[in-house]
Chain A
Amino acid sequence: MATEILQTTSTLTWADRWDHILARLGWRRGHHRVRPGLYALGNPTPDSPVFVTANYTLSFDALRAALAGHDGYILVLDTEGINVWCAAGKGTFGTEELVRRIEQVGLRNVVRHRTLILPQLGAPGVSAHEVKRRSGFRVEYGPVRAADLPTYLRTGRATPEMRRVRFDLPDRLVLIPVEVVHVLWPTSLTVLALWFLAGRLAALGALAAVLAGVVVFPALLPWIPTRDFSSKGFLLGTLVALPLALKPWLGGSEGTLFLQALQSGTFLLGLPPVTAFLALNFTGSTPFTSRSGVRREIVRYVRPIAGLFGAGLLLLLISIGVRLAGGE
């Protein structure tokens, strides 16, 4: 059977860029797929390098765009539309699939050499020595980021810097849209309900606590004091709750002393755990938290988070009851 080689380019079209925006928004997650198989980039010869990637559009496009001006082959594994690192973690970007795909596309007859360049972050799923034993191809781990590939190809090595994952401000900022999308519906409904039942201030408070968790927290992550994510979240949430809790005492409030205290208590107890919970959830989006670390943090913080939130909710219900009874 003749090998089918698909053609691709390094040029990203507007359609590609639109697809990237949708992927970043979490729109139809799992539908941003490339057809698995062997692709020719430019005009490769049997001596051209072979790059391996996942069939997630963001992965494939980052690779081909980074290789502008280079000729080569791109072997796309079927990772079910999941990026290299996560797929490697699941094993779909793995030894099995790689060996099978090499066989299926007849790579042996396409190139003369026996070297594959894999992204470094594919390593959790791929066993280089096993691939060599089973397919005859030597796995070479390139840099973490596709953008470093041209340098890697020129110098033949990845610097320690290229081997590290980073989580700089731009890396964190691109995550915010999908974090917002994840909480959009529950937050909108809650804010709307609070607006009518508990007043504008309560609605504003809930919105601010959520935004602190999904927008401010990722942006400021390394600069928030304290070490674990939950306490960072509690800190941010308290900063949100404090002015709201103080507001009734600074004049302009028409409620009784009891109602004022109730309101302040609701904010101080109810809001920080919301931000802390969202912060704890963000551990899953960072490239450095270990499973052991997250486990430890969950065991330590989930009960306080739930308890405080429950107490805040109770105070909220009481103040709503008082408001309704007072005919306000």
Chain B
Amino acid sequence: MVLGALSNTLRYDPERCIHCGMCSTVCPHGVFRESDHLVELVDPEACMECGACQRNCPTGAIWVESGVGCAIALMRSVLLGEPPQAECCGAGGPTSCCGGGNVREAPVARENTPCGCSEEGPGGCCGR
């Protein structure tokens, strides 16, 4: 049975899992835990959909929708009833695309939203 979260798009299929532990290594929020070579989904609601686990899962046992969501574009679409735009507004903001260059459209986990980062930690996404 595929497990997942209620508040986000994270899905994990224990049957495809080979318990390599990569997901628990890369997750910055302790969503997965590995002990005695067994991986468990322990805190799915803490997932921020960064996509690190999916990208580093060698068997495709994890799926999460982690695209760039431009907040300003989303706000516009909510207020004006327009379809949301996929491209980068470049302005920062919630789950923004953080700066420079154009964001390519890609299906899964190509771009994601961890815009709360500075050197190697939280704070100031691209100077934000």
Contacts and interface: CB of A to CB of B under 8 A. Distances in A.
A283 B71 contact: yes
A239 B87 CA distance: 37
Interface residues of A, number: 76
Main secondary structure of the interface of B (DSSP, over half): loop
A25, A56, A282, A291 pick with most chain B CB within 10 angstroms: A291
A83 interface: yes
Nearest to A292: B8
A83 B118 contact: yes
Contacts of A285: 92, 115-116, 123-125, 128
A17 B117 CA distance: 19
Contact of A289 (B58, B92, B98, B116): B116
A295 B127 CA distance: 23
A292 B9 contact: yes
Contacts of A2: none
Contact of A287 (B106, B122, B127): B122
Interface residues of B, number: 63
Given A121-B28, A287-B28, A86 B22 contact: no
B8 A62 contact: no
B99 A30 contact: yes
Interface string B62-91: 000111110100110011000000000000
Nearest to A95: B55
Contact of A124 (B25, B50, B75, B99): B50
Interface of B: 7-9, 22, 25-30, 46-52, 55-56, 58, 65-69, 71, 74-75, 78-79, 92-101, 103-104, 106, 109-128
